[in-house]
């Protein structure tokens, strides 16, 4: 069966045809047999940090963090300062590889490497294109490492936005309201549409109101988290037309609270915030977390939020059909080895998605008409060699990390 669209859910029998990188009318071009299988549009991870791909299992010897700011100071703002060109590339390779193998065809990444800023987005884009992943990249501008690096961050975003790439687009990365001065924030917005964290922790309270007040929140903005927002800010957010990337597992892991995901909609997409990029797993976790609070949450929500991520990316690529498998849509698709053991149609797709499907069903993946995964293995690169390369890079990254102390930004109070 072919899932033509997740929102509204639309399925049909028959095979899928692809020509010139796009879904074609029946009988035209390459035929993808769907008998006994389920073909779905490729998933989008609407917010991630590829640079955290090598952080799994890394040693930690400092005092355990007690709040969100300390998590940043002691974990992520140490890791990002340890990144060099080798580890940026290796992280992108590992993250991109895992994305495709779990059925995620587009990554929206937010990158930080304060000691290797210039050219970092090209390193990531090159690595992802080599594997065959579609991406939206940005550099995380912040004042936490001083004015030189804030300037360099904006410059890296500007440089990358001007680049012409087949599978990558840019946004302007900004860390979060509490590490950005008005001046830097306005300079970021001047460079292009923002991709910014907002109200993830209490330290970033009133972030949405501030972004709105500065006039930098609009229908092209991508905001991650949106947890500590009041009713007025929810209204402001919805009126702006901005997209929210909701990261349920990350929020639980950091104990930062719960986004009011239904109220912030309809432009709510799902991200992982760096906890891999398996959107089956993320959508399951986000659903159960939502459901725990609200038995009346609509069953269509997981599919609608996944589709919203594809619509956001579709606007950046000027591909309004991205995320569907209708004729003319970019051929970003996933073949699932899932012979439905119970009746399946548009009306109950969400039930199969939450209670039946997972990334273990992912067999083949195509991005922009090119097979990038076949029989659960990457096609364009030597997967084993890349893993071995990444492991060596991770060892070097971890040894540098051991020498880097906790960041002191925020000890004197946030910028705002
Ligand atoms: Zn994030």
pLDDT (tens digit per residue) in 326-372: 999 999 999 999 999 999 999 999 999 999 999 999 999 999 999 99
Give the pLDDT of residue 154. Answer: 98
Mean pLDDT of all residues belonging to the chain: 97
Q: Ligand 1 centroid to 273 CA: how many Å?
A: 4
Q: Is the pLDDT of residue 97 over 80?
A: yes
Instruction: For residues 270-287, give the mean pLDDT.
Output: 98
What are the distances in angstroms from CA 100 to CA 31, 123, 200? 21, 18, 28
- Please, which pLDDT band fits residue 400 given cuts at 50, 70 and 90? very high
**DSSP-H helix ranges across 255-367:** 261-264, 279-293, 301-316, 349-355
Q: Ligand 1 centroid to 47 CA: how many Å?
A: 6
Q: Ligand 1 centroid to 364 CA: how many Å?
A: 29
Instruction: For residues 395-415, give the mean pLDDT.
Output: 89
CB atoms within 10 A of CB 295: 6
Q: Ligand 1 centroid to 33 CA: how many Å?
A: 38
Query: How far is residue 28's CA from residue 31's CA, in Å, rounded to a whole number?
Result: 8
Q: Ligand 1 centroid to 110 CA: how many Å?
A: 7
Q: Ligand 1 centroid to 389 CA: how many Å?
A: 26
Q: Is the pTM value of this prediction over 0.85?
A: yes
What are the distances in angstroms from CA 64 to CA 67, 145, 170, 250, 347? 9, 23, 35, 17, 47
pLDDT (tens digit per residue) in 148-176: 999 999 999 999 999 989 999 999 999 99
- Please, which pLDDT band fits residue 14 given cuts at 50, 70 and 90? confident
Instruction: For residues 89-113, give the mean pLDDT.
Output: 98
Instruction: For residues 280-289, give the mean pLDDT.
Output: 98
What are the distances in angstroms from CA 173 to CA 77, 134, 357, 375, 390? 16, 18, 33, 36, 25
pLDDT (tens digit per residue) in 224-244: 999 999 999 999 999 999 999
Q: Is the pLDDT of residue 415 over 90?
A: no
Give the pLDDT of residue 87. Answer: 98
Query: How far is residue 252's CA from residue 216's CA, in Å, rounded to a whole number?
Result: 28
CB atoms within 10 A of CB 377: 10
Q: Ligand 1 centroid to 20 CA: how many Å?
A: 35
Q: Is the pLDDT of residue 416 over 80?
A: no
Q: Ligand 1 centroid to 345 CA: how many Å?
A: 35
């Amino acid at each position: 069966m072919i899932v033509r669209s997740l929102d509204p859910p639309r399925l049909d029998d028959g095979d899928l045809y692809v020509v010139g990188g796009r879904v074609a009318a029946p009988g035209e071009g390459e035929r993808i047999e769907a008998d006994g299988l389920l073909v779905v549009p490729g998933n989008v991870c609407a917010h991630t940090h590829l640079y955290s791909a090598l952080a799994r299992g890394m040693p930690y010897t400092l005092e355990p963090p007690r709040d969100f700011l300390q998590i940043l100071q002691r974990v992520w703002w140490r890791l990002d300062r340890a990144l060099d060109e080798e580890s940026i590339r290796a992280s992108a390779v590992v993250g991109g590889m895992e994305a495709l193998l779990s059925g995620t065809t587009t990554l929206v990444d937010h990158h930080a490497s304060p000691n290797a800023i210039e050219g970092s987005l090209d390193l990531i884009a090159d690595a992802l294109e080599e594997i065959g992943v579609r991406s939206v990249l940005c550099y995380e501008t912040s004042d936490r490492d001083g004015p030189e690096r804030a300037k360099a961050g904006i410059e890296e975003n500007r440089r990358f936005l001007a680049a012409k790439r087949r599978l990558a687009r840019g946004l302007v990365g900004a860390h979060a309201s509490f590490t950005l001065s008005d001046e830097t924030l306005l300079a970021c917005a001047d460079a292009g549409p923002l991709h910014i964290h907002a109200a993830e922790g209490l330290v970033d309270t009133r972030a949405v109101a501030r972004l709105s007040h500065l006039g930098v929140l609009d229908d092209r903005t991508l905001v991650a988290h949106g947890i500590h927002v009041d009713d007025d800010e929810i209204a402001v957010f919805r009126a702006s037309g901005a997209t929210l990337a909701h990261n349920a597992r990350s929020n639980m892991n950091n104990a930062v609270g719960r986004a009011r995901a239904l109220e912030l909609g309809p432009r709510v997409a799902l991200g992982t915030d760096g906890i891999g990029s398996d959107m089956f797993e993320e959508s399951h976790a986000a659903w159960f977390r939502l459901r725990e609070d609200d038995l009346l949450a609509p069953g269509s929500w997981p599919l609608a939020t996944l589709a919203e991520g594809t619509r956001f990316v579709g606007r950046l690529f000027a591909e309004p059909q991205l995320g569907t498998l209708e004729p003319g849509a970019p051929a970003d698709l996933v073949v699932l080895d899932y012979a439905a053991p119970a009746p399946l149609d548009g009306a109950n797709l969400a039930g199969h998605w939450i209670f039946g499907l997972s990334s273990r069903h992912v067999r083949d993946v195509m991005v922009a008409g090119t097979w990038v995964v076949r029989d659960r293995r990457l096609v364009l690169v030597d997967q084993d060699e890349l893993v071995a390369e990444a492991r060596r890079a991770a060892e070097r990254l971890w040894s540098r990390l051991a020498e880097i102390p906790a960041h002191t930004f925020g000890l004197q109070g946030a910028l705002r």
